[in-house]
Amino acid sequence: MPWFTRKEKGIRTPTEAKKELPDGLWYKSPAGKIIHMRELKKNAYVCPDDDYHVRIGSKEYFEILFDNNEFEELDEEISSANPLEFVDSKPYPERIKASQKKTKLKDAVRSAHGKINGLDLVIACMDFSFIGGSMGSVVGEKISRAISYSLEKKIPFLMISKSGGARMMEAGYSLMQMAKTSAKLALLAEAKVPYISLLTDPTTGGVTASFAMLGDFNIAEPGALIGFAGPRVIRETIGKDLPKGFQSAEFVLDHGFLDFIVDRRNLKRKLTSLIKMLKEK
């Protein structure tokens, strides 16, 4: 007979107390590897011990890719309206405001023009921290305008996707962003301006079913979850557990939907080579 028994099993941390990204000095990967934040940053936010790619946002991607972190941000001021006056547990504008306050972002995508190793590139990069990187009118509009900018200036376009899919609170409008961005990509393709789509963890739903899968080159980060339907939905549909590695970047590559998987530490170098090859004769 033990001296005392534990009433509850396991550690019970309330959800709001759990953290995805550390705000402290140290980072712990899901496998338990610990690294100093300064080292992590120097390593393109990849854990050196287990190559785990930490989820990062537009600020970090721009820092990693643009020379000297110099770039001109496009359409910075666009933010969400509330066309449907959507209310669930709280009104949509309050949700937006809370997210803006928490993330210091306007919405779930930022776009910019800069140089990587001296080559011009337009990048649109999604931020998962903003309502799950969900696509509403702002995301669709900013991506469309970034593509138009690429088209007009004949500069290659890089889309970095990281999104749970559509933003329900914009319902029909959200759905039509898939159409809108695909229309612009049709024009970009016709003008033969290169489009590279980088899929990062996670890329699912309406984003996968539109611009993310339409690259001349579809590339991904190792281990990223990539799919149309979410794993939970599929599990419920088929009533079986999913095989290990299902919907991982490696799985998607094996099934023929990615050109290659790239370690974030090599991303800039590899993008540079690719863009150079397309540019030179």
Partner 1 sequence: MLEFEKPIAELEAKLADMRHLAEANKVDVSEAVASLEEKIERLKKETFENLTRWQRVQLARHPDRPYTLDYIYAMTDDFIELHGDRTVADDKAMVGGFATMEGQSFMFIGQQKGRNTKERQLRNFGMANPEGYRKALRLMKIAEKFNKPIVTLIDTPGAFPGLEAEERGQGEAIAHNLREMFMLKVPVICIIIGEGASGGALGIAIGDRVLMLENSWYSVISPENCSNILWRTWNYKEQAAEALKLTANDMFSNGLVDGIIKEPLGGAHTALSEVAETLKETIFKNLKELNAQSAEERISDRMDKFGAMGVVAE
Residues near partner 1 (CB under 8 A) are: 77-81, 83-84, 86-89, 136-138, 140-141, 144, 166, 168, 170-180, 182-187, 189-190, 205-206, 208-214, 227-229, 233-234, 237-238, 242, 246-247, 255-257
Residue number, 209 or 261, with CB nearest to partner 1: 209
Residue 12 CB coordination number (10 Å) = 7
Residue number, 98 or 183, with CB nearest to partner 1: 183
In whole angstroms, how large is the CA radius of gyration of the chain? 20
Sequence-distant (6+) residues with CB within 8 A of 15 are none
Q: Are strands 109-116 and 71-74 parallel, antiparallel or unpaired?
A: antiparallel
**d(Cα 255, Cα 243) in Å, to the nearest integer?**
14
Q: Taking Cα atoms as reference points, which of 72, 81, 57, 118 lies closest to residue 279? A: 118
Residue number, 217 or 257, with CB nearest to partner 1: 257
Residue number, 31 or 186, with CB nearest to partner 1: 186
Residues in the chain: 281
**d(Cα 177, Cα 174) in Å, to the nearest integer?**
5
Could you give the angle at which helices 171-190 and 137-153 cross, rounded to 10 degrees? Answer: 10
Residue number, 9 or 255, with CB nearest to partner 1: 255
User: Minimum CB separation from partner 1 for residue 81, in Å?
Assistant: 5
User: Minimum CB separation from partner 1 for residue 178, in Å?
Assistant: 6
**d(Cα 54, Cα 42) in Å, to the nearest integer?**
13
User: Minimum CB separation from partner 1 for residue 67, in Å?
Assistant: 30
- Report the DSSP beta bridge partners of residue 74: 111
User: Minimum CB separation from partner 1 for residue 204, in Å?
Assistant: 8
Residue number, 129 or 208, with CB nearest to partner 1: 208
**d(Cα 187, Cα 185) in Å, to the nearest integer?**
5
Residue number, 68 or 89, with CB nearest to partner 1: 89
Q: Taking Cα atoms as reference points, which of 249, 265, 269 lies closest to residue 257? A: 249
User: Minimum CB separation from partner 1 for residue 152, in Å?
Assistant: 15
**d(Cα 277, Cα 110) in Å, to the nearest integer?**
27
Structure tokens, 221:
């980060």
User: Minimum CB separation from partner 1 for residue 155, in Å?
Assistant: 20
